[in-house]
Structure 1
Amino acid sequence: MQAYQSAPCPTCGITWNPPGAQACANCRTPLASPPAYAPPGYAPPGYAPGQPPAYPPGQPSAYPPGQPGPGYPGQAPPAYPGQAQPYDPSGYLPSWQGQPYPPPAGYPPYAQAQAPGYPQGDPYAQGPYAGTPYPYGVPQDAQLPAGSATVVAFGRSIVVPASLAALLARAQGSGRRLALGTGAVLALLLLVFAVLPAVASAQIAGAGQAIAAAASHQRSVDAAMALFLHPPTAPLNDPAAEKAATSRQLAQLQAALSGVQADESAVRALDQHLGWLSIVALPKGAAIAAERHRTAAALTALVEADQVLTAGVDQGRLALPLDDAFADYARMGAAMARHDLGAAGAPYPDARQKLDQAAQLALWPGVPAIAAQEVKTFSSLVDDYERMIQAAQAKDAASVQKYAALVQTGTRAMNAYGPGAFQDSNSKSFTPLVKAYDAGLKSAA
């Protein structure tokens, strides 16, 4: 905030020069000293009280108030704060060097006094330069010598021959392209000969670990496949014991199948990675090829085991509802033997439901075709037995005799399958796959 107001500068008109300033703070124009203050009755040495100061020789000692002295053109009295100042719209100082009025006749022009601490003379004057006529860059409107051009170097424009300017431009562009091309080539070489080989080494090590993990599961897998192909003989005429044995066998087969499928997924993923790396990681080509030979053998073995165990699980799932249906049929026969016709027909709805479920499971890929035939034969047997019970309840002797004959025929058909029907089919289909599994893991080790 401005705390004082000075007399306007005669050149630029500012009113914020500090008290006692000898030059304008804005345009550096010398300022007139303010009149000195003297107490009433005081006079400088050599003057009587009330006597005005002496004036230059040849000038009158006093002038009427407000009138210019001889040799001064008529002008307004000195300006004070708030009074408009003369202004030159051209922006240049007049020939009398920025003073509000020209000097009196016979006096030299006003001197350009500078404030203390500033060099005397014109602050904007510049001396001659040696060397290039444009030490701080070539002006835009400068006239260049014929056959020359400007180039920008270190942030400045320099005049050089036109041929040299063209050569420098071509070299600059070529250098930039060469640097970019060299950087790209170095990055590619680093990727091919350093990064990708390191990735390939890690994948090779991972594939070896996956194969080792699969080999560590071989014993449990072989045991599960042996249980499937050669199941223990269940107690005769004991559906509950047979179902318990089937449940244990199914649990063991499912655990082995989960392990084989996990090993298969791990080895397959690593084999795919190695297949991609064999194209780009050229220095590791031989090592990748050797490892992929191992992964291929392990994958073949695991696929064979997967097929065997999947069939075992599918057949185990089929056996569970069949065991329930056999148990219901046994309860129907026991009640019929007791001549309890009401109890004899009670298990039939559950048996019918279990047989429908078994008919769907018999169509799964891992189940032999003979299973669907057996399920169909057993379903007919159970239906005929239920009709015989209903005929007995209705006291229809002829119908009882008819369905009793059909029950005997169905019973003989079921006995024809026997427990060895599934085993013979499984042994013929899956024994070669078990052998291939063992041989494949041995080759991959």
Structure 2
Amino acid sequence: MSLRSHLAITAGKLSRWFLKTFTKGGSSYPGKLALKIDPHVLQSLAKDYEIIVVTGTNGKTLTTALITNILKQEYDHVVTNTTGANMIQGIVSTFLASKKNKQGKTFAVLEIDEASLSKVTSYLTPSLFVFTNIFRDQMDRYGEIYTTYKLIVDGAKKAPKAPILCNGDLPIFNSVETVNPRLYFGFNHKKEEEQLAHFNTDGVLCPTCHHVLHYKMITYSNLGHYYCPNCGFTRPELTYTLTQLTDMTDQKASFVIDGESYSIEVGGLYNVYNALAAASVANYYHIQPSSIRKGLAYDEKVFGRQEVIQIEDKTCQLILVKNPVGINQVIDMIKLAPQPFSLVSMLNANYADGIDTSWIWDANYEAFTEMNVPKVIASGERHHDIAFRLQVAGLENQLIEEPDLKATIAAIKQLPTEKVYILATYTAVLQLRKELANQGYIKEGV
């Protein structure tokens, strides 16, 4: 280790101690400081780790948490960026907080932002990449889906020997050759039936000949057993397969992967994909099914991912939403919930959310008119935009606007139902949690 790296690590660890001790924060700043002193500090910090990188549009945080939980069943020391600080400064901060195990294999399971992957892999060498999915998201940052895919493929090729374990049900992951070997996970749980994706779906053109893809089975959006009737482009052979979806509610799901039965303590089909990705990683590393079972059954909710918060007599479920596919899956999950319930929709448009909020018009808010939702609160910095969208969806009679956070929390206490769903963009989640911590409803910090 060079003197410069040693100085950077020392400064980073001291700043982390100070921030944690006196401000209860510091998920990214220590890494930012260390990088300023030594831009190559990550090379020293990540040396000798078995590194698993998780990236993609949706599902990174929960997939990372599930992989970590599974590995912890069999390994003593697993490092991960639990706060979701998934850009390079956050990754450096993660390693600064770690005390490396001197004996045995030490894993680092890292959620990495799609646009940051290439920067991170310039300084560390992953052993395995996990690609969850690519959907239209934060157009101002990423552009179209093929632009985003190129970002992560370019990041992966800097570690060309590391396999890419990716969602085989998504056509984009089979659209170009990669220097990295590829493995695939996916669903084979339904009887085959000839069908097309919904007309308002991205990514349904064949990447070879641009014909509309056909499907033998669809899970959601453009995921499923796809094929092109014109040129023969088709879903690749799956390495790891979910063959049965035995039960699914708004709170949990049970399923069979490669002959083994598992369950997770969160609802929604999209979260079953996250569990399948995590179980596939475990199978890749030859983890015992009993350990996979224990890791997946871990019921501590991840920040903003169906996190349950009690506000007086209201049981509030906080769910991060950020793009049309993601929120439509959340809405489908909420359909399974016992009714009635109230709804809070919080929309921000900061850099971390995506400045372009036009995606709300591709979300199926109209589905809420078919549910028993007596009251809806529109909140956040762009409360007028989300209020108008909810009015157009047909929820005008139930709607109130509360732009102020304190007023929003006060309004939640007055809602007519015990159950409340809070759908919020990323910075809105942070702001709401901070205010809830100030009022004593949750512990301070993320």
TM-score range, shorter chain: under 0.3
Bigger Rg over Cα? 1
Q: Flag the structure with higher strand content.
A: 2
Instruction: Tell me the TM-score normalised to structure 1 length.
Output: 0.20
| Bigger share in helix | 1
Give me the TM-score of the superposition, normalised by structure 2.
0.20
